[in-house]
């Protein structure tokens, strides 16, 4: 039963629709207060009464029934207690019937969401700094699909700019095909670092690099072939990491794709009187909006990020007719997105309001900061591999006879990396710690995965689950079921707030509550009726944990 809508349908508040009432109903932090609560503060202005008087009046007029057994007013809140026996049975039956679809919905049916994430740079390392954008974007991609949206994952490749001229010069001067084929991105990065080291001694190298990039733009056969080769090598190399993290994309259209689409944007800006000249450059003046000017063309006529982002946004709207277009990019780019979105608004694009910058904090290792130019980077592939190795050592120590140890270690190690990056609110900076993310007893991926395996172990020992008619619920049993009922709402709220960490924290809460239930309540040794109920509750918990982790891109080993 959808209790919020059921409750709302039985309340009559002048000037407020049933849907609006349902949207205001919340779950109290302590279910001893009730299972649902309606804050009455928002009705004070309409009804011209104090919130506590409104709550009192509504409580007096509400007729309890077999579904809602108690209604009381407390400090301006209207608290509802449901028929807990019926709710528990209905919830468990629903979860077991829907299985991997529990929590899914068709709320997004007919709507398209574009998600621009990961967006790696060609011929540059896929490093720890790319972790957040990749896993946040990947989780949002799965969450929106789960909610019925047509989801388009876009890897807006950094495949344009003078760095490619630098790389071509470095390759032709100090590199060779065999070494690049062998070392791939790491060798390309070595050449890139070499260029910067040498250009500090010889300033003319920057001019030579610019010339090589110009040759790419002009379609020079050799330079374009090298550029394409570097791009293919990069995508082949990073695919391994994307596969490990269960990341997929529907488009790899990068910056270079919009080369021939920028003139239309520039002409439109000019026609609408938005393009101004400033020191030889072309800008859109945003002073009246409290922002610096948005630079569209440099004084030498070269385009910039904003130019290409404007062209990309218009292309995406024309191609996908999106409901929302998300950009999962670090908070350092806040100003860029504010400017870029404002320019679209000034161009009278009604869909400018549907553009969203999903900002996040920085990821660093305990060892300190990174610099691509100086070659001080930590490859994401190396971080994942190290976590997998450490997970293998832990598993080998705790359960040396476990089958498929390598496969389990990979699921645990990779899951630890993803869970660690998604464990806090996305806007927070993260200091990545191997020991912390691999702690089997903390609020981590391995802890939740281990709880899933514990559920599986109980169910395997028990065999088939028989019928039950259990009414004498213990508080911990009800608490666990009440938590399981929240999953669909958690997923929906995570999509509305663009916050996958809500699913992560929820998974920890479920695991923690189940483990308390597991230690407080005997399962297999109980009489048949109680045993069957607790087995059904265990299976429902296992299902919800799996569904939550799958939205994050984390696998669930059945033995650990």
Residue 546 lies in a domain: yes
Residues of the chain with pLDDT > 90: what percent?
A: 77
Residue 490 lies in a domain: yes
Structure-token match 């929590």, residue found: 103
Give the pLDDT confidence of 513-555 residue by residue, as tens digits: 999 999 999 999 899 999 999 999 999 999 999 999 999 999 9
pLDDT at 421 over 60: yes
Residue 237 lies in a domain: yes
Residue 224 lies in a domain: yes
412 and 509 in a single domain? The answer is yes
The CA–CA distances, whole Å, from 487 to 161, 245, 389, 480, 482 equal 45, 23, 33, 12, 10
394 and 534 in a single domain? The answer is yes
Residue 70 lies in a domain: yes
What average pLDDT does the structure give for the chain? 92
55: domain CATH number?
Answer: 3.30.1360.70
440: domain CATH number?
Answer: 1.10.730.10
167 and 78 in a single domain? The answer is no
Q: Which string of b and e fits 56-76 if b means at least 16 CB within 10 Å? A: bebbeebeeeebbeebebeeb
53 and 198 in a single domain? The answer is no
548 and 457 in a single domain? The answer is yes
**pLDDT band at residue 374, thresholds of 50, 70 and 90?**
low
Give the pLDDT confidence of 268-289 residue by residue, as tens digits: 999 999 999 999 999 999 999 9
User: What's the gap between Cα 471 and its chain centre?
Assistant: 39
Task: Give helix 185-199 / helix 204-217 axis angle, nearest 10°.
Answer: 130
Per-residue confidence (pLDDT) for residue 375, from 0 to 100: 52
pLDDT at 219 over 70: yes
Residue 262 lies in a domain: no
186 and 70 in a single domain? The answer is no
Q: Is 290 left (phi over 0), alpha (psi -120 to 50) or beta?
A: left
Residue 281 lies in a domain: no
**pLDDT band at residue 368, thresholds of 50, 70 and 90?**
low
Domain boundary among 216, 243, 270: 243
Domain boundary among 30, 57, 82: 82
Spatial separation of the C-alpha atoms in residues 558 and 560, rounded to whole Å: 7
397 and 493 in a single domain? The answer is yes
Question: Residue 19 belongs to what domain range?
Answer: 3-82
* Tokens linked to 469: 């008619």
68 and 174 in a single domain? The answer is no
172 and 70 in a single domain? The answer is no
Per-residue confidence (pLDDT) for residue 376, from 0 to 100: 61
Domain count, the chain: 3
Give the pLDDT confidence of 91-146 residue by residue, as tens digits: 999 999 999 999 999 999 999 999 999 999 888 878 888 999 999 999 999 999 99
**pLDDT band at residue 367, thresholds of 50, 70 and 90?**
low
> Structure pTM?
0.91
pLDDT at 189 over 90: no
533 and 445 in a single domain? The answer is yes
Residue 148 lies in a domain: no
Give the catalytic positions in this structure: 124, 127, 130
61 and 185 in a single domain? The answer is no
Structure-token match 């790319």, residue found: 130
548 and 399 in a single domain? The answer is yes
Domain boundary among 243, 262, 281: 243
């Amino acid at each position: 039963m959808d209790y919020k809508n059921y409750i709302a349908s039985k309340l009559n508040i002048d000037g407020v629709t049933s849907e609006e009432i349902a949207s205001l109903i919340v779950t109290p932090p302590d279910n001893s207060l009730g299972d649902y609560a309606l804050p009455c503060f928002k009705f004070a202005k309409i009804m011209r009464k104090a919130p506590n008087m409104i709550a009192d009046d509504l409580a007096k007029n509400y007729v309890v029934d077999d579904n809602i057994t108690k209604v009381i007013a407390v400090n301006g809140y209207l608290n509802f207690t449901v028929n807990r026996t019926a709710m528990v049975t209905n919830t468990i039956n629903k979860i077991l019937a829907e299985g991997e679809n529990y929590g899914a919905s068709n709320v997004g049916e007919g709507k398209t969401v574009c998600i621009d994430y990961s967006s790696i740079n060609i011929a540059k390392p896929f490093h720890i700094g790319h972790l957040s954008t990749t896993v946040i974007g990947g989780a949002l991609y799965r969450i929106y699909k789960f909610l019925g949206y047509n989801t388009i994952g876009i890897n807006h490749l950094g495949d344009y700019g003078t760095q490619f001229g630098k790389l071509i010069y470095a390759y032709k001067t100090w590199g060779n095909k065999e070494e690049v084929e062998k070392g791939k991105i790491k060798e390309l990065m070595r050449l890139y670092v070499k260029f910067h080291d040498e250009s500090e001694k010889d300033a003319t190298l920057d001019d030579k690099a610019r010339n090589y990039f110009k040759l790419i733009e002009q379609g020079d056969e050799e330079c374009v072939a090298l550029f394409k080769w570097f791009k293919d090598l990069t995508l082949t190399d990073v695919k391994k990491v994307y596969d490990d993290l269960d990341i997929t994309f529907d488009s790899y259209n990068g910056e270079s794709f919009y080369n021939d689409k920028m003139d239309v944007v520039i002409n439109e800006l000019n026609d609408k009187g938005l393009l101004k000249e400033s020191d030889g450059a072309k800008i859109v003046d945003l002073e009246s909006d409290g922002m610096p000017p948005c630079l569209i063309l440099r004084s030498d006529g070269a385009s910039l990020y904003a130019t290409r982002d404007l062209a990309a946004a218009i292309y995406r709207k024309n191609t996908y007719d999106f409901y929302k277009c998300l950009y999962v990019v670090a908070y350092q780019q806040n100003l860029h997105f504010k400017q870029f979105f404002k320019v679209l608004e000034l161009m009278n694009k009604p869909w400018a309001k549907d553009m969203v910058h999903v900002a996040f904090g920085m990821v660093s290792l305990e060892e300190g900061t990174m610099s691509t130019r100086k070659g001080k980077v930590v490859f994401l592939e190396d971080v994942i591999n190290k976590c997998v190795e450490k997970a293998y050592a832990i598993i080998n120590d705790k359960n040396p006879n476990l089958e498929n140890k390598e496969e389990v270690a990979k699921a645990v190690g990779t899951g630890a990396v993803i869970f660690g990056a998604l464990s806090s609110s996305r806007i927070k900076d993260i200091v990545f710690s191997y020991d912390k993310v691999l702690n089997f007893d903390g609020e981590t991926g391995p802890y939740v995965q281990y709880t899933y395996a514990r559920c599986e172990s109980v169910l395997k020992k028990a065999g088939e689950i028989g019928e039950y008619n259990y009414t004498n619920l213990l508080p911990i049993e009800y608490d666990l079921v009440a938590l399981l009922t929240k999953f669909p709402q958690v997923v929906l709220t995570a999509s509305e707030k663009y916050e996958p960490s809500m699913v992560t924290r929820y998974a920890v809460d479920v695991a923690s509550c189940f483990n308390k239930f597991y230690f407080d309540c005997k399962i297999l040794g109980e009489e048949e009726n109680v045993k069957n109920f607790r087995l059904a509750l265990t299976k429902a918990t296992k299902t919800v944990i799996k569904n939550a982790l799958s939205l994050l891109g984390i696998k669930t080993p059945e033995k650990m």
